[in-house]
Structure formats: structure tokens, C-alpha cells
Amino acid sequence: MQNVGSILNQRLEKIIVENEMLRAGFAALPYVVLRDVRLTVGARLAYAVLLMYAWQEGSCFPGQKRMALDMGVGQRSLRRFLAELRDREYISWRKTMPGGTNMYTLHDVKSKLTKGKRPTVAPQ
């Protein structure tokens, strides 16, 4: 028979997710991105989608067509959202090869707080 401490330790050693949707995965968006009111909602969602791709098997190279489909927007809108993120220095990208997909870099958002130019965020 196990003692109460042993049972509690076993229970605390894992996280139980009862909701199937949560078990399917989710993207955690950094607050500095989520609350940056200079970004459109679409740009914030594009950042979350990039994170979703990045957390799949370490890395991947999503095409803009696929990203736009996943977001439910057109490719032109997606390019506008990505340009917003680039212009605010949240991301950058480069072509992997002519006609190929882009390799995206998600910059350290901590630098947004330490550069002296803190992003405008919604009040708490």
C-alpha cells in the first residue's frame, strides 16, 4: 500500500490534459507580441502560426501558401502581416533557394524590452 506522499508525488510528476483539443497542441504567444498594439491582429496570428511550425520537429520551412491556408487568409494578406512583423523587428527571413520556401528567424523578443524602445502595449 502506498503512502499519501508517494501518491501525491506521482500525481505531481505529470500534467493531465483532459481536453482533446489541448492535447492536439497549441501555440503560446509571448505577451510582448500579443500586447503590441502597433501590430494588427493578423500579424499577431501570423507570429503564432510561425511558432506552431517552429515547434514541429525542431524546425520546418513553411510555404506562404500553406501558412495562408492555415490562417484562413489570402497570400497577399499573409505577406502584409509578415512584413509588419519584419518592420517591427520580430522576424526576418531569407529564401532557401530560388523559387523555394523562406527560412524564418524569430528574433529574441526579450530584446524588445532591453533596446530602450519598449513596444506600445495595451494597458493592464
Q: What is the domain class of 26-107 according to CATH? A: mainly alpha
Digit-coded pLDDT (tens) for 56-66: 655 566 788 98
Digit-coded pLDDT (tens) for 107-118: 887 766 655 454
Digit-coded pLDDT (tens) for 12-32: 555 566 777 666 677 778 889
CA distance 39 to 17: 32
Confidence (pLDDT) at 113: 63
Q: What is the mean pLDDT of residues 81-97?
A: 90
CA distance 82 to 85: 5
Confidence (pLDDT) at 53: 83
- How does DSSP assign 33-85, residue by residue? HHTBTTS-HHHHHHHHHHHHHHTSSS-----HHHHHHHHTS-HHHHHHHHHHH
Where are the domains positioned within the chain? 26-107
When pLDDT is cut at 50, 70 and 90, the band that residue 39 belongs to is very high
